[in-house]
Structure 1
Amino acid sequence: MRAAADERRDLARRGPLRYLNLFRLILAGLFLVAGLELNLGADAPQVFNAAAIAYLAAVLALGFPDAARRFGVDRVITLQTVIDIGVLAAMMWASGGYRSGIPVLMMVVLAGVGLVAEGRMVLFYAALATVAVLAENVWRFVAGERAADFVQVAFVCTAFFGIAITARFLALRAKANESLAVQRGEALAKQQAVNERIIHDMQDGVLVVAADGVVSQANPRAAELLGLTSVDGLRLTDVDENFAEVPTCCSTPEGSLRRLGPAGKLLRCRAVGAQDDVDGQRAAGGETVIYLTDFEEIQTHIQQLKLAALGRLTASMAHEIRNPLSAVTQAAELLTEEKRGDVQVRLVRIINDNAKRIERMIRDVLALGRRDETLPEALPLASFACGLLDEFALRGGAERQVFALDIPGDVTFAVDRAHMHQILDNLIGNARRYCSGAPGSVHVYARVEAGGRVAVHVVDDGPGIAAADRARMFEPFFTTHPKGTGLGLYISRELAEANGATLELRDNAPGAHFVLTGRSQP
């Protein structure tokens, strides 16, 4: 693994090193062709020309990729840098010393080497250039020639280290950014592969449609739903003319139902912009993503669930009806044998109570069967609830003062009137059964929530619902009352859902707290 990492590192450095060798080649050619015209080598032209020829030969010899493979990138960089500094120092001596401007070229070389060298070698190269410049200036000073000011030379030598260190830090930063980019690229490639696999295996069809109506991408499920082998590159209107309406008619979150394609399947279509903004506004001329769902399969699955639920309900009803029927049968047999009048009255009462229990159970099941027969209207809640509470007061089991009503007069609820009567009758009846009976112990109120939805609250001050029973409150035939059928809350929730509303149980406050939430207008 370490050898592989070193190999990747060397490959990453060969690109910048190639450009640095190109700079060296241009510089060597410039020295050889126009060095004397640039007032270089005036003190020793032969030395300058010899250094230029040697420099060009060294650049050509070490610039080939074979040299890096044979000696290693680090050795080639060190050898080239030592030759650069040595040749430039010789040319500086032949051109009049520090004032010739050769140290500036040394700065350029150190900057380039700092981008490709490793570790502390950049400091070694800066130190080597410093020794060369200082040695040349000291030699001139000792020889009595025109030596430069040592303060200026010191500034230049300090710049050697600054440039080398800065170039090294820039190289490290570029390498870190490159490594990060590689990691993110690999993560993006993996995520893209996962997304493509998910889309490929989706049970829904996915079509990516360009602005001209041509399919640019599609998963196999889309072709299967449309009854085609492939839809890539096809114009959707050529597949089915109804696709012309899909981007506009199916842009809602719920979508719409369409029979599309040669197969003629009933599909739920939903169209979204591939580049929709936060507000859901589609960019003009952008791509459109169309989701296709097999609605016939959904209907079949729903039908299977309904049949399974109906089977469980039938089995539960058979079990629940058997108990009161047994009581009725036993009471009838005893009635034929019993001669005392008071006992006969008690047996008749048992028969009547159990017959009424069976009748309530059948009535509730019949109401469940009519849950889809809804006639929603904007029902005025205040007057409707007031009339229902008056009915409770007329039954003789409770007085009107037990109920506290707090519903604004302008609040309406979108619901079928008969369904609403049965839902509130169950909720208020349960609250009255378990409340304390004090004035205002059953509180019925309504509030308008965000989005225009209306919530009807029914709260009592009774003992509340035990934590162990809360999860089963809406199960069919579950009841804590000895004479209850266990279908009231279950059917109430079913009727609420049939009207687009929800019925939920809130925390005890302190008694039971039920909330019916729905739209204000149908």
Structure 2
Amino acid sequence: MSGYKLAMPARKFTAPDAFWRSAKIFNLFRAAMVASLIVANWSLSPNLLFDKGDRISVNWASMAYLCLISGYTLCLRYRWPTFRLLLGIQVGSDILFIVGVMHIGGGFQSGIALMLLPYLAGAGLISRGSTTLFHAAMASIALLGQQGYQYFFDGGRASDWFQVAMVSSACFATAWLAHRLASYATESEQLAARRGNELANMAQINRLVIQDVSDGVLVLDELGVVRQFNQQAERLLGRGMVVGRTVLREFSPALARALSGWREGDSTLAPNPASNQRVRPRFMPVQVGSSATGTVVFLEDIERLQREAQQIKLAALGRLTANIAHEIRNPLSAISHAAQLLAEDADDPASKRLTQIIGDNTKRLNQMVQEVLDLNRRDRADPVDIRLHEWLTLFVAEFKEVEGIQADIVLECPQGATARFDEGQLHQVMWNLCRNGWRYCSQKDGGLSVKVGPTEDAWAIQVRDDGAGVSSEDMGKLFEPFFTTDAKGTGLGLYIAREICAGNDSVLEYVPVSLGACFRITFPSRPA
């Protein structure tokens, strides 16, 4: 069995749609040539093309061939039989028709043999050069057969054999040229298809890259029409841009003015009232050769840059405090202990006052160190499902006892309210919010309230007081580190609380109200 090999079946050739379309056009050319021959046969004066007796024979042959062309039209419409077989039959019939008309007209002296050349060239281009030499061989055999018949039976001249050889050579030359042109066209078509795929892939990659960058990106043509943009650009400039229709000077006059003043170095952009963002544009020209064809505009969100700079600063601060925390705490412990000893031996009020100042400030410094260290621990969350009604009841009682509060704190919480949060971290955040609220409220019954209510798909806790509230100038700075309006505060409490909430997939935000101040913690979703 090892001496036998299985023959693999040849892959069947399936002609593309372009081949069939070209064959239909070639069939129309064939019909037009035959119709022109009929018109010329009857229009020209006698004996100029055919004798009077030969005209009838040529017309009958032409009419019969037109009927055959009609049959080819049906075959091309229904694509039957195969493309190569049908094309071979058509070219063979073309050769027989032309050689037959040539024979009726007296042989090579009529000059009709030259009509074979455009048919061979057209067939070679349509078939992409795969059978052109075979078609040329068919034409040469037909010419030789006609000349042989005429020479032996019709008294043909010997000199006509030279013309047969020349026309046959022309047939092969035409076939070879068509083969080369068809090969070149095929290679060019394949190259164009590859380049088209590469361009489509590059366009897809460009779209993905543009959508993924953190800056806003606008692509403008030479007329200032938006050709491409990403979601960041839409967020910074506002919705409503349409690719190919939006004109920059109409959609964003401020950015259009910045683009106009680009060469003058003026590229600042005023805040956009619609999106409440401040952006900084950067312009890059798109050039093909020496002529500019468009502009790429990069829109940097200044607020995002400021947040990133703040994060970098805080990260560096965290690394610094991690290294020096123990070095700071050790002297603080020694100072605090020495102040306690001095307070025990102090007899006069002035000495006691000084030692108390030392103790209070060491406690404040120790609290600041602890809060700074908490910045590095905000991601160490172990969230659990918390029943807010029971948990807040115990929390409010503990808070009142530790802080020495006699007034009533309003607590409203549905029985089924739950949240997923690290219990210890939620305790820290709530303690910070309630202590700040109690410090600034009227410190009467109901001056501080804790209320739980549903949002769209989550629960939220609101801590509200009836104090003076937060000024509009300070609202944007509430959660910035080291910002405080209290001379004894560190300015880290609200910032740490917000970072802890973010580490638990929750959001801490300030809610403007008509009276007092209100902070809300929104949990991510209701636990199943």
TM tier, shorter chain? 0.5 to 0.7
Instruction: Name the amino acid aligned to 2:205.
Output: V
CA offset digits 1:440-480 (Å, max 9, x no partner): xxxxxxxxxxxxxxxxxxxxxxxxxxxxxxxxxxxxxxxxx
How far residue 146 of structure 1 moved from its aligned partner, in angstroms, is: 4.1
Q: Which runs of 5+ in 1 are unaligned?
A: 326-522
Structure 1 residues 242-281: aligned runs within 5 Å: 242-250=254-262, 256=268, 258-275=270-287
How far residue 96 of structure 1 moved from its aligned partner, in angstroms, is: 1.0
CA contact (8 A) 2:282 2:298 kept: yes
Instruction: Name the amino acid aligned to 2:139.
Output: A
2:147 to 126, 137, 140: 137
1:292 corresponds to 2:304: no
TM-score, length of structure 1 as denominator length: 0.54
CA offset digits 1:167-218 (Å, max 9, x no partner): 1221122112112211211221122122123223332112234566554543
CA offset digits 1:129-153 (Å, max 9, x no partner): 1122122222222235343432222
Alignment match, 2:83: 73
Alignment match, 2:430: none
1:98 corresponds to 2:108: yes
Task: Quote the RMSD (CA, aligned, Å).
Answer: 3.5
Q: Secondary structure at the match of 2:278?
A: strand
Instruction: Name the amino acid aligned to 1:290.
Output: V
1:23 to 22, 29, 33: 29
CA contact (8 A) 1:17 1:116 kept: yes
How far residue 45 of structure 1 moved from its aligned partner, in angstroms, is: 3.5
Q: Secondary structure at the match of 2:279?
A: strand
Alignment match, 1:220: 231
How far residue 12 of structure 1 moved from its aligned partner, in angstroms, is: 2.0
How far residue 24 of structure 1 moved from its aligned partner, in angstroms, is: 0.8
Alpha-carbon distance change, 3 to 319 in structure 1, aligned in 2, over 3 angstroms = farther
CA contact (8 A) 1:272 1:288 kept: yes
> In structure 2, what is the Cα distance between the partners aligned to 1:144 and 1:240?
89
Q: Which moved more, 1:67-76 or 1:114-123?
A: 114-123
Structure 1 residues 312-461: aligned runs within 5 Å: 312-318=319-325
CA contact (8 A) 2:258 2:266 kept: no
Alignment match, 2:448: none
Alpha-carbon distance change, 133 to 184 in structure 1, aligned in 2, over 3 angstroms = same
> In structure 2, what is the Cα distance between the partners aligned to 1:153 and 1:255?
80
1:163 corresponds to 2:174: yes
Alpha-carbon distance change, 4 to 251 in structure 1, aligned in 2, over 3 angstroms = farther
How far residue 94 of structure 1 moved from its aligned partner, in angstroms, is: 0.7
Aligned length: 318
> In structure 1, what is the Cα distance between the partners aligned to 2:212 and 2:12?
37
2:204 to 183, 193, 212: 193
Instruction: Name the amino acid aligned to 2:283.
Output: A
Q: Which runs of 5+ in 2 are unaligned?
A: 1-8, 333-528
CA contact (8 A) 2:128 2:182 kept: no
> In structure 1, what is the Cα distance between the partners aligned to 2:186 and 2:270?
55
CA offset digits 1:277-326 (Å, max 9, x no partner): 67xxx84xx5433211112111112112112212212333456789999x
1:230 to 240, 248, 251: 240
How far residue 47 of structure 1 moved from its aligned partner, in angstroms, is: 2.8
Q: Secondary structure at the match of 1:259?
A: coil
CA contact (8 A) 1:111 1:164 kept: yes
Identity of aligned residues (%): 33
CA contact (8 A) 2:258 2:269 kept: no
1:116 to 107, 126, 132: 126
How far residue 64 of structure 1 moved from its aligned partner, in angstroms, is: 3.3
CA contact (8 A) 2:219 2:227 kept: yes
Instruction: Name the amino acid aligned to 1:71.
Output: P
> In structure 1, what is the Cα distance between the partners aligned to 2:137 and 2:62?
23
> In structure 2, what is the Cα distance between the partners aligned to 1:210 and 1:122?
48
> In structure 2, what is the Cα distance between the partners aligned to 1:5 and 1:186?
26
> In structure 1, what is the Cα distance between the partners aligned to 2:99 and 2:165?
16
Alpha-carbon distance change, 31 to 231 in structure 1, aligned in 2, over 3 angstroms = closer
Alpha-carbon distance change, 221 to 101 in structure 1, aligned in 2, over 3 angstroms = same
CA contact (8 A) 1:208 1:216 kept: yes
CA contact (8 A) 1:40 1:94 kept: no
Alignment match, 1:126: 136
> In structure 1, what is the Cα distance between the partners aligned to 2:204 and 2:320?
46
Q: Secondary structure at the match of 2:240?
A: coil
Alpha-carbon distance change, 113 to 240 in structure 1, aligned in 2, over 3 angstroms = closer
CA contact (8 A) 2:120 2:174 kept: yes
1:48 to 58, 67, 84: 58
Alpha-carbon distance change, 3 to 192 in structure 1, aligned in 2, over 3 angstroms = farther
Instruction: Name the amino acid aligned to 1:303.
Output: Q
